[in-house]
Structure 1
Amino acid sequence: MGTLYLVRHGQASLGASDYDQLSPLGEQQCRLLGEYWRSRGLRFDAVLCGGMKRHAQSLAAIAEGLGQAELPAVQRRPGLNEYDSEALIRSVFSGPLDRPRDAESARQYFRLLRAGLRAWMSGQTEPEGMPSYAEFSAGIAAVLTEVREQCEGQVLLVSSGGPISSAIGQLLQASCEAVIDLNLRIRNSAVSEFSFGPKRHAMLTFNTVPHLDSPQGQALITSA
């Protein structure tokens, strides 16, 4: 049996013109995760990563914290890329959309995102420039199959909340609404773990942040 560590990227840049960029806090979160794993002697046998900037930056910070001169060759997989949140919102809302810069605008943003996710996942909308949810879900399913069939030992996967929640939903045969709830609760740099063998994956943990489990670390926990 092997273990798959699914890591959501560190805090990105919500409210900025380019969300796909780790904030300094996001880099710190991921570096601390690498340091936590180094303190426990964890070494990875395979590394898979989405193709977005925040994925690559998160992996680089984790590697820095691990202090390993060489991680296994990184395997980029498009199936680990996140959905387009603005396209989802635009598919259900045509009014002016303010960037989430304060608590109220953030609440409005995530209300609209939830509505957009619900419509997309149920097949009611086709957001511009995005695959169907069935195609999106098939992308992460293909990665999980690859891990089962081609990997062994300790496998690191760096992605986003959408693909990770989809992976968990597939394992648990969860409803679309439950997958949305999982998605919107995954914290930055959080780790979910699957055990895997040639035939199946099994859930071990969800949304853990052991690297931030200290009085100082608690202040570093974020979800957006």
Structure 2
Amino acid sequence: MGAVYLVRHGQASFGAENYDVLSELGRAQARAVGVELARRGVTGIGARCGTLSRQRATAELALAEFGSGGSVEVDARWNEYDHVEIAAHHGGGAAQGSADPRAYQHALEKALAAWIEAGDDSPCAETWPMFLARVRAAFDEVVSGLGKGERAVVFTSGGVISTLCGDLLGDAAGGMLSLNRVTVNAGLTKVVTGRSGTTLVSFNEHAHFDGEAINLLTYR
């Protein structure tokens, strides 16, 4: 039986001029999830990540904690949806603002629901069906390449992970809308694959942020 670990990136720079950069807390989260993966014996693997800076930096920092290291294959299919464009077309142009992140999150969730509802008719460059197709294809490629007992690690984003988890449970759109809001920065999701198919066995694990590390726990 093979296993795929889906890792959400560390905290990005909400409200900053360039969101796509890990905050100092995000860098600490990335190192912490690397330590957790090493503790589980997930070492010496060939990892994957998207092309976004926050995803690549999380992968590099986490893998540095692996003793034996490992290479990172960059694949744009693991990128997050374009929240700026979706907010512009479906959310009345709502913009990130450090003053009220909860208000922005609420507006974005409404925009995501409208984006999904619009389907192929959305004016966004990437529609919901297009996003779903690319993340499914990226995931299927990883799963099909796993041998017996092999493991893969993918550093990606909350929307991607939530969509894939929903898809495995029979409702990709529902997963995106209900699971995305609770994904933890640098949280772990585990999927196993074998003769009986591909199964979600854990979502959003973050015990590595319990106890003395509780200050590392963030959702946005």
**TM value normalised by structure 1:** 0.89
**Moved beyond 6 Å, runs of 4+:** none
Cα deviation for residue 111 of structure 1 reads 1.3
Cα deviation for residue 16 of structure 1 reads 0.5
Contact 2:5 2:188 in 1 (8 A): yes
Instruction: Look up the match of 1:30.
Output: 30
1:148-187 per-residue CA deviation (whole Å, 9 max, x = no partner) reads 2212311001100111111111101126244211011101
Q: Which amino acid aligns with 2:98?
A: R
Between stretches 37-46 and 22-31, larger displacement belongs to: 37-46
C-alpha separation in 1, matches of 2:86 and 2:181: 14
Q: Which amino acid aligns with 1:218?
A: I
Instruction: Look up the match of 1:57.
Output: 57
Alpha carbons of structure 1 residues 132 and 98: separation in structure 2 relative to 1, 3 Å:
closer
Q: Which amino acid aligns with 1:11?
A: Q
Between stretches 84-93 and 182-191, larger displacement belongs to: 84-93
Q: Which amino acid aligns with 2:82?
A: D
Q: Which amino acid aligns with 1:223?
A: Y
Partner secondary structure for residue 30 of structure 2: helix
Q: Root-mean-square deviation (CA), in Å?
A: 1.9
Number of residue pairs the alignment of both structures matches: 217
Instruction: Look up the match of 2:179.
Output: 182
Cα deviation for residue 20 of structure 1 reads 0.4
1:35-58 per-residue CA deviation (whole Å, 9 max, x = no partner) reads 223234332533111111001100
Contact 1:188 1:223 in 2 (8 A): yes
Contact 1:44 1:156 in 2 (8 A): no
Unaligned 5+ residue runs, structure 2? none
C-alpha separation in 1, matches of 2:188 and 2:50: 15
C-alpha separation in 2, matches of 1:17 and 1:27: 18
C-alpha separation in 2, matches of 1:92 and 1:21: 25
Residue 77 (structure 2) pairs with residue 82 (structure 1): no
Unaligned 5+ residue runs, structure 1? none
C-alpha separation in 2, matches of 1:49 and 1:106: 26
Alpha carbons of structure 1 residues 200 and 123: separation in structure 2 relative to 1, 3 Å:
farther
**TM value normalised by structure 2:** 0.91
Contact 2:182 2:219 in 1 (8 A): yes
Instruction: Look up the match of 1:167.
Output: 164
Alpha carbons of structure 1 residues 175 and 99: separation in structure 2 relative to 1, 3 Å:
closer
1:100-140 per-residue CA deviation (whole Å, 9 max, x = no partner) reads 213xx212201110111001111266254x31111111111
Q: Which amino acid aligns with 2:140?
A: T
Q: Give identity over the alignment, percent.
A: 29
Partner secondary structure for residue 64 of structure 2: helix
Partner secondary structure for residue 90 of structure 1: helix
Match of 1:140 among 135, 150, 153: 135
Contact 1:148 1:198 in 2 (8 A): no
Match of 2:219 among 203, 210, 223: 223
